[in-house]
Structure 1
Amino acid sequence: MGPHHHGDVMSYIVPMKALIILLLTAAGGSLGGVAYYYQARASSLNNQVSNLNNNASSLSDQIAALKAEIANLTNQISRLQTINSQLNQSSLQIQSLETQLANATSQLQSLETQLANEISKVQSLESSFSTQLSALSAQLALDQTEITQLQTQISQLQIQLQQKGSLCLSGQTVTIGELLDLSSALATQGVRAKDGSALAIADINSFLSSAGCNLKFAASVSDYSLDSSRALSELQAFAAAGVQVVVGPLNSGAIQSILSFANANHIVLISPSSTSVALTIPNDYLFRTAPNDRWQGQADAAMLKAEGATKVVILQRHDSYGDNLANATAVDFGGIVDYAGCISSDSVCVIRYDASATAFANVIQQLSVEFQALNATSPNRVGIDAVSFEEFGAIVSEISQSSSTSIRALLTGKLPGTGGGPTSVWTGTDGEAQDTFLSDNVTSGPIISSIRLPSTIYGFLNNTKTERLYLTFASTYPGATCDFYCTGAYDDVWLAALATLQVGSYNGTRIQAAMLTVADNYYGVTGWTQLEPSGDRVASIYEIWKVITPSGGVPTWVFAGYWDASSNGLVAFNPY
């Protein structure tokens, strides 16, 4: 650079320095104001920082408070969740309790209904018993009059017995024959009849001895085993031995086979249990101390109807007893009776089986078919009436063991019942009633207990003679029971002895002529033995017996009410 240029620069710098000095001088006068401005600004900023710090502190407090509140709320939520869980559990418990309460309420209502039914039954029984008591009171008055008459007759008889030359002082032993089943389908009843008649012989001989007589009675027992031809052979043997009176046979079929021989040879037959209507013949040599089947048919029909049956299948042994009782029941039940198959429009279907049969598969199949035929149009309204002897045990055992569901269902069928709920479709007769062979059997007993099998049998009101016989029988034959056959045979032997004493000789013709009079005036262990002109017992009541199994016990026959002949009505009937 040349000297010219250096001079130019310097001329420029000198004025600039002067300008800067002037500016600094001017500024020095206001420097205090600038400092004051910045001090104020710094103070304001400090205040703001302080405020911000205060705000931050406040916010921190608030945040801490909020955290505490959150923690508190969290605890509350936790407690609420616990409470909610407890409430849920309580709700489940309440639901369970409500279910239990509903069940308890239902059970209570059921119990109330049962109680009402029981109260109704009790009221009915009270009314019935009141009626019976009135009737018994009236009967007692009549009985007292008759007892006075009997005492007079006894006195006269004692005088007659002691007369010189009378049968009483003859020293004879009069043998009464007995045709009983001791080994077949009525063996249980036959043994009891034999034992009862043995006690009668002892009592008769004791009576004669106390009256000063040396006459004695004895019994000769033959087992005809329900075989009609054998019964005839035994009767012929009795005739050859001079026997004029025979107690038995037990069943109508055998009597029907031997009656003509008895009539022709003037041998009096006295049966405690034959009931066939076919043998209701006046002026013959047969006398029966059980009413004939026209009475039992009414009782059986009434029992079936009481349980709600509108149709019935009658299963019967094909003999005089079964045929006539089945027919009597069918007629009294009413409606269309079919003996040759069964259609839905029938009211009564009758199935017959061979009385000597020991296997029943075909009969049971027929029973199932005919029961279903009737049940198709009358569901749960079809009863089954079994007119059987001890073979009934084999019948129900075969049914229970069948591979056919429909056949086994015969044992579980139900009828509407008598007010206490459904009952079994099965009913029975005097061929089964009180038979311990059926109830004691390990196979048939429980089955019969399950169906109850309410069964009719001729009955009577116990008296002091009855109670005395029961006590003597129990002590003489421990473990055995004096049933209808036992009491009937006891009275039959007494009738034979009294008729013999009445006519003064052991003569069948004379005894037959006196029997109605002797029977009408005899008060025995079965009560008054009044006979109809046909020689059959005048009916009063038919007892009903059923099989139950007590808790911890074994199948047992128990009383289940009775049918009253005078009103054709059931009293205290309980098939449950």
Structure 2
Amino acid sequence: MKIRAVLHVIVCGLLLALVSFAANVEAKQSKSQPTKIGVLVSLTGSWSTLGKNTVAALQIAANQIAAQTRGRQRFQLLIRDTQLDPSEALDAIRDLNSRGVKIIIGPQSSAEVAMIKPFADANNILVISQGSTASSLAIPNDNIFRFCPNDIREADAIVALMQHDGIRVIVPLWRNDAGNNGLHDSVQIRFQALGGTVTPGFRYEPTTSDFSAADSSVSSQIASLIAGGTNLSSIAVYLAALDEVVGVFDLAWNYPALVNTVWYGSDGVALSAVLLDDPVAGAFAIHSRYPNPIFGLPDTLRNRWQPVADAIEARTGITADAFALSAYDALFVVQNALVHANPQKNFGNFKAAFVNEADHFNGVTGSTALDAAGDRENGDFDFWAVRLQDPRATWVRIGTYNNGVLTIF
């Protein structure tokens, strides 16, 4: 009996020790340090629409991951407002590097990505941009990854729409930065390849606040085309811009040639809240038709992305686009890659794991598979235009360009 009693005590003690050990392990896991994620976005500068929605998307994703893993996988978002200024982006990544950050989501513009790329490559920092499209940055084996298609694919989409609408001549007006220069060049190449004509147009600096010279030049070029016998209905203005579209449109009303010509836009303005907030510019956008292509969201996956988009809009009051939702997907890919490697200990293994996980991940935006340069392979686009509804200006989805097929609603 005494032996049984002793054995009983020993067994109970071992069980208690195992339970205690398991509890301590779980407690240590739940108390593990969160992974630092640098977030470079424009919150107070141009294109702040995307910046604000990106932060909301990442906060939602981080909260969901923490809940799903019962706190074992947590992220600390170190948010930096770059104001869409490349020098601010470089200062921010230097600061984040000093804090041990090896994973960056953003920045959103190609000019910023181009500025931080050498530092990221030299310091083993993995950068995931949700909005950079410049094909000049499609460089294999670097540390820059982009969860959106590049400007060559966007050019295919907008030129297909122009051709459908009977446009044969375009007068380009574009912002002098990496992203918009890339869009201008790709659109010009594609449009000319299909037999169209592209005039010299006008390129303005990012610091421009008075668009009189820009609007006047474009107006004069349109007038010269008409004087030379070109039918007005076959002429369009192609505008590759950001929030300064408001300044362009405010003055455009003063030039009959601009008022009577149709305009086409780019991803940097699509779904812009700033344009809607200006009644004069908004009215010009409605009058000029002004469709803007943007990386599209699959209708077949609406049950996945719509709840996330609604949650983002509830936080920011701004309609969420595929750029912001791709940032949401990016954090889940990062989570999966961290299972295989720690970027602090072996950056090369982590980078390889990230690429592998991206190639096999299907998120709310669909497949995140990357091409050889680390850019998203999926090149589907939605077209958005400003329309008057209930009596206010709002963005309306007017068409798609999926797998080379144009559909107009």
Q: Give the TM-score taking structure 2 as reference length.
A: 0.87
Separation in structure 1 between the aligned mates of residue 267 and residue 243 of structure 2, nearest angstrom: 11
Equivalent residues in 2 for 1:383-532, closer than 5 Å: 383-400=236-253, 402=254, 407-413=255-261, 425-462=262-299, 463=301, 464-474=303-313, 476-477=314-315, 479-504=317-342, 506-507=344-345, 508-532=347-371
Counterpart check, 1:248 vs 2:87: no
Give the AA of the match of 2:137: L
Instruction: Write out per-residue CA displacement over residues 29-54 of structure 1, whole angstroms, 9 at most, x where no aligned residue.
Output: xxxxxxxxxxxxxxxxxxxxxxxxxx
Match of 2:4 in 1: none
Residues 335 and 311 (structure 1), Cα distance of their counterparts in 2 relative to 1, 3 Å cut: farther
Give the AA of the match of 1:495: V
Counterpart check, 1:377 vs 2:229: yes
1:172–1:214 Cα contact (<8 Å) kept: no
Q: Give SS of 1:349's match.
A: coil
Separation in structure 2 between the aligned mates of residue 258 and residue 283 of structure 1, nearest angstrom: 16
Give the AA of the match of 1:435: S
Separation in structure 2 between the aligned mates of residue 218 and residue 285 of structure 1, nearest angstrom: 21
Match of 1:357 in 2: 208
Residues 505 and 367 (structure 1), Cα distance of their counterparts in 2 relative to 1, 3 Å cut: closer
Equivalent residues in 2 for 1:69-468, closer than 5 Å: 171-209=32-70, 214-334=72-192, 347-375=198-226, 376-380=228-232, 381-400=234-253, 402=254, 407-413=255-261, 425-462=262-299, 463=301, 464-468=303-307
Separation in structure 2 between the aligned mates of residue 534 and residue 335 of structure 1, nearest angstrom: 24
Give the AA of the match of 2:399: G
Separation in structure 2 between the aligned mates of residue 299 and residue 216 of structure 1, nearest angstrom: 39
Residues 252 and 506 (structure 1), Cα distance of their counterparts in 2 relative to 1, 3 Å cut: same
1:319–1:355 Cα contact (<8 Å) kept: yes
Match of 1:26 in 2: none
Instruction: Write out per-residue CA displacement over residues 307-364 of structure 1, whole angstroms, 9 at most, x where no aligned residue.
Output: 1111111111011111111110111101699xxxxxxx95443421102211111111
1:433–1:546 Cα contact (<8 Å) kept: yes
Separation in structure 1 between the aligned mates of residue 382 and residue 83 of structure 2, nearest angstrom: 27
Aligned residue pair count = 379
Q: Give SS of 2:382's match.
A: strand
Q: Which runs of 5+ in 1 are unaligned?
A: 1-163, 338-344, 414-424
Q: Cα RMSD between the aligned structures?
A: 2.2
CA-CA distance at 1:373 after TM superposition: 2.3
2:172–2:198 Cα contact (<8 Å) kept: no
2:297–2:322 Cα contact (<8 Å) kept: no
CA-CA distance at 1:504 after TM superposition: 4.6
Greater percentage in helix = 1
CA-CA distance at 1:176 after TM superposition: 0.3
Residues 191 and 479 (structure 1), Cα distance of their counterparts in 2 relative to 1, 3 Å cut: closer
Q: Which runs of 5+ in 2 are unaligned?
A: 1-24
Equivalent residues in 2 for 1:37-56, closer than 5 Å: none
Higher radius of gyration, 1 or 2: 1
Equivalent residues in 2 for 1:552-563, closer than 5 Å: 552-563=390-401
Residues 308 and 225 (structure 1), Cα distance of their counterparts in 2 relative to 1, 3 Å cut: same
Separation in structure 2 between the aligned mates of residue 322 and residue 471 of structure 1, nearest angstrom: 29
Separation in structure 2 between the aligned mates of residue 465 and residue 506 of structure 1, nearest angstrom: 33
Give the AA of the match of 2:45: S
CA-CA distance at 1:505 after TM superposition: 5.3
CA-CA distance at 1:558 after TM superposition: 0.5
CA-CA distance at 1:412 after TM superposition: 2.1
2:239–2:266 Cα contact (<8 Å) kept: yes
Residues 301 and 442 (structure 1), Cα distance of their counterparts in 2 relative to 1, 3 Å cut: same
CA-CA distance at 1:301 after TM superposition: 1.1
CA-CA distance at 1:451 after TM superposition: 1.6
2:240–2:268 Cα contact (<8 Å) kept: yes
CA-CA distance at 1:492 after TM superposition: 1.9
CA-CA distance at 1:479 after TM superposition: 3.5
Q: Give SS of 1:221's match.
A: strand
Residues 520 and 304 (structure 1), Cα distance of their counterparts in 2 relative to 1, 3 Å cut: same
Q: Give SS of 1:555's match.
A: strand
Match of 2:405 in 1: 569
Match of 2:16 in 1: none
2:289–2:385 Cα contact (<8 Å) kept: yes
Instruction: Write out per-residue CA displacement over residues 5-56 of structure 1, whole angstroms, 9 at most, x where no aligned residue.
Output: xxxxxxxxxxxxxxxxxxxxxxxxxxxxxxxxxxxxxxxxxxxxxxxxxxxx
1:293–1:328 Cα contact (<8 Å) kept: yes
1:301–1:330 Cα contact (<8 Å) kept: no
Instruction: Write out per-residue CA displacement over residues 234-274 of structure 1, whole angstroms, 9 at most, x where no aligned residue.
Output: 00000000001000010000111110000000100001110
Residues 512 and 373 (structure 1), Cα distance of their counterparts in 2 relative to 1, 3 Å cut: farther
2:384–2:397 Cα contact (<8 Å) kept: yes
CA-CA distance at 1:170 after TM superposition: 7.2
Greater percentage in strand = 2
Give the AA of the match of 1:334: Q
Greater shift in the superposed pair: 369-378 or 271-280: 369-378
Give the AA of the match of 1:383: A
Separation in structure 1 between the aligned mates of residue 168 and residue 360 of structure 2, nearest angstrom: 42
Residues 510 and 427 (structure 1), Cα distance of their counterparts in 2 relative to 1, 3 Å cut: same
Separation in structure 1 between the aligned mates of residue 204 and residue 343 of structure 2, nearest angstrom: 45
1:336–1:347 Cα contact (<8 Å) kept: no
CA-CA distance at 1:569 after TM superposition: 3.0
